[in-house]
Amino acid sequence: MTEDEKRATASYQFLSAKPLLLVFNIGEERLPEASSLEEEWRTKYRRPQLDVAVLCGKLEMELAQLDDAEAQEFRSAMGLEESALNRMIRLSYELLGLVSFFTVVSDEVKAWTIHRDTPAVKAAGKVHSDMERGFIRAEVISYEDLVRCGSIAEGRKRGLVHVEGKSYTVKDGDVITFLFNV
């Protein structure tokens, strides 16, 4: 669909234009062929904004009863990279064009969900309208860098915190401190 066609049909809310995640529940004995089943069904149901996830609900239910370390060890032995829940959340975010960023105030960390390609000033508005209105700049460090450093202060010392303006495109996993004045 062209951009003009999308604008012309936007108010109709066609179900066929919405992103679609097909989730198939299979038996544990079919897990080794999960990738080929996903590809087969992705081809069979091919359309824009569609993805496929194959999972074994019974196995996931059993893994949910284990502690995280045991569950991860079991998943690795079964050839599974991540939990079905995490995978469905990740695929849903991708299909919907969403990313998450984090804010830290004192000892409170909060995740915020925004659309991909959102500028920093609009992301600040997601936290509070005053932050958008009085936006000065954003201090940004990636989640991975923050974990490696251990703190934002250490990230500053290592030069990993960068200062960005209103037009900075927020990336998935950014940890942001918004500076504003109202």
The domain ranges of the chain are 3-96, 98-180
pLDDT tens readout for residues 163-174: 999 999 999 999
Take residue 98 and report the two structure tokens written for it.
């969403």
What is the rounded average pLDDT of the residues 79-90?
A: 92
Write the CA distances from 144 to 25, 147, 173, integer angstroms.
33, 5, 8
Which residue's structure tokens are 């089943």? Answer: 37
pLDDT per position as a tens digit, 21-49: 999 999 999 999 999 999 999 999 888 88
- CATH class of the region 3-96: alpha beta
The fold adopted by the segment(s) 98-180 is Ubiquitin-like (UB roll) (3.10.20)
Given this chain, do its domains 3-96 and 98-180 carry the same CATH topology? no
pLDDT for 8 equals: 86
pTM score, whole prediction: 0.82
Residue 15 in 3-state DSSP? helix
